[in-house]
Structure 1
């Protein structure tokens, strides 16, 4: 009798686990977005700062900053989508929350700030 209950319990677990469905996030912001700034300190020296946002499908992401191809800072962030605006929140840092909108009509696609300035472009 114990074997029968064990077998039924295993079948029940397999059936329940196969019935659960993980919703798929196909948001168009998913992927890697970058912004590169060239800083010229004087006529002889300059440096390049590249910022990178990697958006994943569970409303989280990774922000990375490179100076002259060397990783200088990174942190995780949360993102949310409401009324075609995306809010990026960097928890545990001094970086301020940013709200951007996706501009798909541009080539390459861009994330624009509320004032229309380009925040980042799709890599």
Structure 2
């Protein structure tokens, strides 16, 4: 019986020592990015639109579109990075194109820039 417990203890030590650790992802895209379009008319300011991307460290995220205080679209997305170029895919959402962006630092802050040179979002 002592040999069985010793064997189990040794196996427990071996299995716990071999557990792999989750790699920490410190990618600069992780966080909240947004873009907003405000109305110039004070009476229509309730209709200001906002888009928000929340990137997390497991290459997934959440996308929101809001008009005023109402969420009009909410979906998940998957992102990947290769050589500083990020691809954001909205799987299962028809009509939403895949975005290919890079991170650019400007005097006004940090932004996600599309391949055509237009800004997609700024870091909050």
In the other structure, the counterpart of 2:106 is: 105
Unaligned runs of 5+ in 2: none
Q: Counterpart in 1 of 2:121?
A: 120
Provide the aligned C-alpha RMSD in A.
1.9
Give 1:40-55 correspondences, 5 Å limit.
44-46=43-45, 47-55=47-55
Which residue number corresponds to residue 5 of structure 2?
3
Instruction: Report the CA distance between 1:39 and its aligned residue.
Output: 5.0
Q: Measure, in 2, the Cα distance between the counterparts of 1:69 and 1:43.
A: 15
Check if 1:84 corresponds to 2:67: no
- Shift, 1:9, TM fit: 1.6
How far did residue 52 of structure 1 move?
Answer: 0.5
Determine if the alignment matches structure 1 residue 36 to structure 2 residue 36. yes
Alpha-carbon distance, 1:93 to partner: 0.4
The gaps in structure 1 that reach 5 residues or longer are none
- Normalising by structure 1, what TM-score? 0.85
What is the aligned partner in structure 2 of residue 67 from structure 1?
67
Is 1:23 the counterpart of 2:23 in the alignment? Answer: yes
Report the counterpart of residue 14 of structure 1 in structure 2. 16
Q: Report the alpha carbon displacement of residue 23 of structure 1 after superposing the two structures with TM.
A: 2.0
Residue in structure 1 matched with residue 58 of structure 2 by the alignment = 58
User: What is the number of residues matched between the two proteins?
Assistant: 120
Mapped partners of 1:78, 1:14: distance in 2: 32
TM-score w.r.t. length of structure 2: 0.85
SS at match of 2:17: helix
